[in-house]
């Protein structure tokens, strides 16, 4: 009598990866009349491996009805946590004022009406915030919860004369004035208007807002503003200092300019200029000019002649230098003096903020220990509240400095590069500097575009 081999039932193997987000099964075929794959076999194997969540019931029924042997089949899948979204801020004013002076038929530019000031009323909404969301927890195939991270509440960049609404969803103007996004803060500034000239009748002007001068600024006077300065007349040998932009309708002869925004002037002659933003003028003659952005000489005779210009990005003009006198003119691009200065200052400020934040955290921890022990009197409770608030503010400041450092690092990679475009000519007597390379112009360059190449300065015809 022949020996009959024992029947062997189908066997289910369960495989779960390290992240426990899926479970797959594979089944061996039955032998010698053994039991085929069944729903009970699958569930028993899943239970043995503690797979309880995300099970595909339809797949189990399908495999029980039509067994598949050999290949792995996904039988359960977890759900990843859906982290909450950070709150979003929306500006309800024009952050970057676009000043577009009108070019006249004779090629000159009219800087009198530029629409510089953005006036807001007390209580007007400057910004709104969409709150952060909680997110949704997930789970793995073993039924373990995967906690979601709540979105971060982004604070309003509240500056002077602004207030956050009671519900925390809006930033409002605390008074009527001019709104600007100055650096990392939104600020509402008053505007001081001089009806006439800055002269003996007014003395020097020092104002914590915008300054509007309907006349001129006479020699020897200083106009200083925490916002922007707009002058409809001319400037003699005076000093202008602004944390915002400066606009001079009739140009400037002599004196000094220092502005952290953009500079607009009909002409600049014999001036000392430091401009963190972009500079626009019909002519720059015999000036010592430092500009962090671009320098644009506007109009059909836009001329840069004499002196020295250091520009962070690019220079665009009609004529550079003098064809008749070959006056020495130094132009250097690709070196932003403002970025260089902040690259030195920001790391120190960041280190100071981190040190202060750590000290505040130690204070909060100590006071919270008093609170847990029931030893927190009214004075210490007030100290704890202040320490928590200051810690939050300092953490936001540290984060802003870290973001600034990242931006400065990216900008620093571009140092030593820039371009010069002359739609007319660059005359002999001009010395061009880009990074480590210099080019003394010996012969007239016609419609050149000057850039930095791998081995030196390159000159190509632009048109």
pLDDT in tens, 141-196: 999 999 999 999 889 999 989 999 999 999 999 987 778 887 678 988 778 788 89
Q: 265-296 pLDDT, tens per residue?
A: 999 999 999 999 999 999 999 999 999 889 99
Q: 393-402 pLDDT, tens per residue?
A: 888 888 988 8
Residues in a beta bridge with 24: 15, 74
Judgement on whether residues 364 and 421 belong to the same structural domain of the protein: no
Judgement on whether residues 46 and 114 belong to the same structural domain of the protein: no
Average pLDDT over residues 102-130: 67
Q: Is 432 exposed, middle or buried (0-12, 13-18, 19+ CB in 10 A)?
A: buried
In whole angstroms, give the CA distance from residue 194 to residue 215.
Answer: 8
Q: Quote the pLDDT of residue 184.
A: 76
Average pLDDT over residues 215-233: 93
Residue at 263 is within a domain: yes
107 pLDDT tier (thresholds 50, 70, 90): low
Residue at 225 is within a domain: yes
Residue at 35 is within a domain: yes
Q: Is 177 in contact with 161 (CB distance < 8 Å)?
A: yes
Q: What are phi and psi of 395, to 5 degrees?
A: -65, -40
Judgement on whether residues 218 and 344 belong to the same structural domain of the protein: no
Residue at 146 is within a domain: no
99 pLDDT tier (thresholds 50, 70, 90): very low
Q: Could you tell me which residue, 318 or 370, shows the higher pLDDT? A: 318
Flag whether pLDDT at 439 surpasses 90: yes
Flag whether pLDDT at 38 surpasses 90: yes
Judgement on whether residues 221 and 290 belong to the same structural domain of the protein: yes
Flag whether pLDDT at 410 surpasses 80: no
Judgement on whether residues 310 and 396 belong to the same structural domain of the protein: no
Q: 56-68 pLDDT, tens per residue?
A: 999 999 999 999 9
SS (H, E, C) 40-97: HHHHHHHHHCCCCCCECHHHHHHHHHCCCCCCCEEEEECECCEECCCCEEEECCCCCC
Q: Is 312 in contact with 332 (CB distance < 8 Å)?
A: no
Q: Quote the pLDDT of residue 416.
A: 64
- As given in the structure block, the two tokens for residue 57 are 């019931």
Judgement on whether residues 166 and 237 belong to the same structural domain of the protein: no
Residue at 59 is within a domain: yes
Which residue from 285, 323, 309, 350 is spatially nearest to 445, judged by alpha carbons? 323
112 pLDDT tier (thresholds 50, 70, 90): very low
In whole angstroms, give the CA distance from residue 209 to residue 48.
Answer: 74
Mean per-residue pLDDT of the chain: 88
Judgement on whether residues 113 and 202 belong to the same structural domain of the protein: no
Residue at 197 is within a domain: yes
SS3 342: helix
Judgement on whether residues 110 and 59 belong to the same structural domain of the protein: no
Please tell me the total count of domains within the chain: 4
Q: Could you tell me which residue, 452 or 208, shows the higher pLDDT? A: 452
Flag whether pLDDT at 214 surpasses 70: yes
Q: Quote the pLDDT of residue 104.
A: 59
In whole angstroms, give the CA distance from residue 170 to residue 450.
Answer: 48
Judgement on whether residues 433 and 305 belong to the same structural domain of the protein: yes
Judgement on whether residues 60 and 173 belong to the same structural domain of the protein: no
Judgement on whether residues 228 and 127 belong to the same structural domain of the protein: no
Residue at 103 is within a domain: yes
In whole angstroms, give the CA distance from residue 115 to residue 223.
Answer: 20
Q: Is 80 in contact with 21 (CB distance < 8 Å)?
A: yes
Q: Is 196 in contact with 224 (CB distance < 8 Å)?
A: no
Domain end: 37, 58, 77, which one?
A: 77
Residues in a beta bridge with 58: none
105 pLDDT tier (thresholds 50, 70, 90): low
End-to-end CA distance of the chain: 104
Judgement on whether residues 378 and 437 belong to the same structural domain of the protein: no
Residue at 98 is within a domain: yes
In whole angstroms, give the CA distance from residue 53 to residue 58.
Answer: 14
Q: Quote the pLDDT of residue 233.
A: 96
Range of the domain at 119: 88-131+152-186
């Amino acid at each position: 009598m022949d020996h009959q081999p024992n029947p062997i039932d189908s066997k289910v193997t369960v495989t779960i990866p390290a992240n426990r987000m899926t479970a797959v099964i594979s089944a061996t075929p039955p032998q010698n009349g053994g039991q085929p794959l069944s729903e009970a076999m699958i569930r028993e194997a899943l239970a043995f491996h503690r797979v309880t969540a995300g099970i595909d019931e339809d797949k189990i029924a399908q495999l029980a009805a039509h067994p598949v042997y050999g290949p792995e089949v996904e039988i359960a899948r977890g759900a990843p946590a859906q982290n909450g979204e950070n709150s979003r801020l929306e500006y309800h004013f024009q952050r970057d004022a676009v000043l577009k002076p009108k070019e006249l038929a004779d090629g000159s530019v009219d800087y009198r009406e530029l629409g510089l000031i953005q006036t807001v009323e007390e209580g007007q909404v400057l910004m709104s915030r969409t709150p952060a969301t909680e997110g949704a927890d997930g789970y793995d195939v073993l039924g373990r919860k995967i906690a979601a991270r709540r979105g971060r509440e982004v604070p309003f960049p509240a500056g002077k004369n602004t207030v956050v609404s009671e519900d925390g969803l809006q930033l409002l103007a605390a008074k009527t004035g001019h709104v600007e996004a100055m650096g990392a803060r939104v600020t509402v500034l008053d505007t001081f208007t001089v009806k006439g000239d800055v002269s003996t009748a007014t003395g020097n002007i020092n104002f914590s807002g915008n300054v509007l001068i309907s006349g001129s600024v006479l020699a020897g006077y200083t106009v200083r503003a925490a916002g922007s300065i707009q002058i409809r007349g001319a400037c003699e040998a005076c000093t202008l200092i602004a944390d915002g932009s400066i606009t001079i309708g009739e140009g400037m002869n002599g004196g000094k300019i220092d502005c952290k925004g953009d500079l607009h002037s009909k002409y600049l002659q014999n001036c000392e200029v430091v401009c963190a933003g972009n500079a626009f003028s019909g002519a720059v003659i015999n000036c010592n000019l430092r500009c962090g952005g671009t320098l644009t000489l506007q109009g059909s005779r836009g001329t840069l002649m004499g002196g020295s210009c250091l520009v962070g990005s690019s220079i665009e003009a009609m004529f550079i230098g003098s064809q008749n006198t070959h006056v020495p003119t130094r132009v250097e691009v690709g070196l932003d003096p403002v970025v260089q200065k902040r690259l030195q200052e920001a790391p120190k400020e960041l280190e100071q903020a981190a040190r202060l934040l750590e000290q505040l955290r130690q204070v909060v921890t100590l006071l919270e220990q008093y609170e847990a022990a029931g030893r927190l009197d009214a004075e210490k409770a007030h100290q704890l509240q202040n320490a928590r608030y200051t810690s939050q503010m300092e953490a936001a400041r540290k984060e802003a400095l870290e973001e600034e450092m990242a931006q400065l690092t990216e900008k620093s990679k571009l140092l030593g590069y820039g371009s010069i475009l002359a739609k007319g000519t660059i005359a002999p007597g001009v010395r061009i500097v880009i990074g480590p390379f210099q080019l003394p112009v010996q012969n007239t360059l016609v419609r050149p575009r000057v850039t930095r190449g791998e081995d030196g300065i390159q000159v190509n015809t632009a048109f």
